[in-house]
Structure 1
Amino acid sequence: MSSGEFVGMVADDPDCKIKLKTFHCKLINDHDALKKEQENYKDIAVIRKLDNTIVQRNYL
């Protein structure tokens, strides 16, 4: 498959039959819109800094 393609298969149950159980699709991305959105991302605020000592003490 090429980049952006995906395939799948779903299962039905006896009470709810599905005619189309397999699919093959291609994602179409608007790269300009995605770039604009990514430019507006903000860093996640640091709440608490952890180091290995704190993690090890918590583990024990």
Structure 2
Amino acid sequence: MNCRFIALPDPETVSIVKRIFHMRCMGNSFRSIAAALNQEGIPSPRTLYYQQLKKKNIFF
């Protein structure tokens, strides 16, 4: 197998990703996970991307 890509965890988001997987394994719905993250002010991947670029998210 010749794989040209290696996926590396993003140190800024790895804890959130682990939390999402844990919440889903505990039976939480995708909607309830999203609601919890939104309530805590955790940005979506797209919003985080634009924040890192220091640009406005054109979708909001």
TM range (shorter): under 0.3
The TM-score normalised by the length of structure 1 is 0.24
Q: Higher helix share goes to which structure?
A: 2
Query: Which entry has the higher C-alpha Rg, 1 or 2?
Result: 1
Using CA pairs under 8 Å that are at least 6 residues apart, name the structure with larger relative contact order, 1 or 2.
1
Q: Higher strand share goes to which structure?
A: 1
